[in-house]
Amino acid sequence: MGRYIIRRLLSLIPVLLGVSIIVFFLVRLIPGSALQMYLGTQVEATAEQMVELQRLFGEDKPVPVLYVEWLGRIMTGDFGHSLRTGRAVLPDILSRLPLSLEITLMALVLALAIGVPLGVLSSLKQRPFTDITIRVTGLLGLSLPQFWLAALMVMAFSGFRGWIPMGNFISLWDDPVKNLRMLFLPSLAIGIGLAAVIMRYTRNSMLEVLQSDYIRTAKAKGLSRRTVIVRHALRNAILPVITVAGFNVGYLLGGAIVIEEVFALPGMGRLALYAIYQRDYPVIQAIVLLIATLFVVVNLITDLIYALVDPRIRLDEKAR
């Protein structure tokens, strides 16, 4: 397993290199520039002044040269400085990252808590009304846009004190209860779509596993229905669900960009959204690179969980 982890970590290098190339060049294809956003519509600058501003902002060189210089700084842990605020990018991101990770983790927990039981129930209750109701509910959850659902939640719960941050966010360390109550609705808005996906995968996987020979053997041995379902059927049916959940962590983290703005949460997603508005290249590049890193690391953790859930899987053999 150790060799497999090392190989996966090494594979992170070309992935992140490719991501850095894509994001560095694509953000510069966005119409407008950071200098134009900085000056606004009310300020006119001469050609000489624009050249001097480009020099001050470090944008006076060809884009490939800028990329090589930026990559060299990344190797030393220097993600540059914001073109808007002049502050170092990395401390700003790290100060907002815990909130975004908390929302993502809470959304994942809610998605599993909702999707897995409903999927198991749908596979066991083969009555038309129960099965169709659960499946239609899952399809509805999958179809609802996150930002629309979040806006509805803000309108519906704005009168309930403590459920909407309203510009007064409380961290987990200051008051865990109030913090979790504030993040429940944003996490639910992000996680409800994943819950629908998990429900469908759990249902299909359970239906397949319940037809297996070892399930019939377990029933023939006189084991209780709960033991057969939980210890034998669900443990084997949960493997595809782990894959889906692991692959969608990056999706949840990306969804936080819009949800944090709707709920006025000071997270990394809101910082990324403002950076896009303002063409703040160093901030955009650092956030995308960080999200890509987290996505690959989560996939590695997913594979390790595979080995814990099903000992038949040998990660060292997969590494060969």
**CATH code of the domain in which 102 resides:** 1.10.3720.10
Do residues 146 and 189 both lie within one domain? yes
Beta bridge partners of 81: 88
pLDDT tens digit sequence for 260-273: 888 888 888 888 88
Distance between alpha carbon 13 and the CA centroid of its chain, in Å? 20
Domain-located, residue 84: no
Do residues 118 and 144 both lie within one domain? yes
Do residues 115 and 229 both lie within one domain? yes
Do residues 139 and 252 both lie within one domain? yes
Do residues 254 and 131 both lie within one domain? yes
Tell me the pLDDT band of 126, cut-offs 50, 70 and 90: low
Domain-located, residue 109: yes
Domain ends where: 43, 75, 107?
75
> How many structural domains comprise the chain?
2
Domain-located, residue 294: no
- Report the pLDDT value the prediction gives residue 37, as an integer from 0 to 100: 58
- Report the pLDDT value the prediction gives residue 58, as an integer from 0 to 100: 65
- Report the pLDDT value the prediction gives residue 319, as an integer from 0 to 100: 47
Whether residue 111 is predicted with pLDDT greater than 70 in this model: the reply is yes
Do residues 65 and 155 both lie within one domain? no
What's the pTM? 0.78
> 39, 4 in Cβ contact below 8 A?
no
Distance from C-alpha of 104 to C-alpha of 98, rounded to nearest angstrom: 10
Do residues 7 and 102 both lie within one domain? no
- Report the pLDDT value the prediction gives residue 135, as an integer from 0 to 100: 73
Mean pLDDT of the chain: 77
Do residues 11 and 119 both lie within one domain? no
Do residues 117 and 259 both lie within one domain? yes
Token output for 193: 């779509």
Q: What is the largest CA-CA distance in the chain?
A: 87
Do residues 69 and 186 both lie within one domain? no
Tell me the pLDDT band of 296, cut-offs 50, 70 and 90: confident
**Residue owning tokens 């210089």:** 69
Distance between alpha carbon 147 and the CA centroid of its chain, in Å? 15
**What are the Cα distances from residue 46, in Å, to 39, 43, 60, 169, 214?**
12, 10, 16, 44, 79
Whether residue 235 is predicted with pLDDT greater than 50 in this model: the reply is yes
From its phi and psi, is residue 45 left (phi > 0), alpha (psi between -120 and 50) or beta? beta
- Report the pLDDT value the prediction gives residue 32, as an integer from 0 to 100: 61
Domain-located, residue 234: yes
**Residue owning tokens 């990306």:** 254
Domain-located, residue 238: yes
Share of the chain above pLDDT 70, in %: 80
Whether residue 131 is predicted with pLDDT greater than 80 in this model: the reply is no
How much is the average pLDDT of 13-29?
81
Do residues 7 and 143 both lie within one domain? no
Domain-located, residue 222: yes
Domain ends where: 19, 40, 75?
75
C-alpha dihedral (259, 265, 269, 273), degrees to nearest 10 = 90
Domain ends where: 75, 107, 127?
75
Ranking 11-15, 25-29, 248-252, 255-259 by mean pLDDT, the lowest is 25-29
- Residue 129 lies in domain: 90-277
Interacting residues of 138 by C-beta distance below 8 A, sequence separation 6+ = 115, 118, 195, 196, 199, 200
Distance from C-alpha of 125 to C-alpha of 82, rounded to nearest angstrom: 56
Do residues 46 and 192 both lie within one domain? no
Whether residue 41 is predicted with pLDDT greater than 60 in this model: the reply is no
Domain-located, residue 16: yes
Domain-located, residue 46: yes
Ranking 38-42, 126-130, 217-221, 276-280 by mean pLDDT, the lowest is 38-42
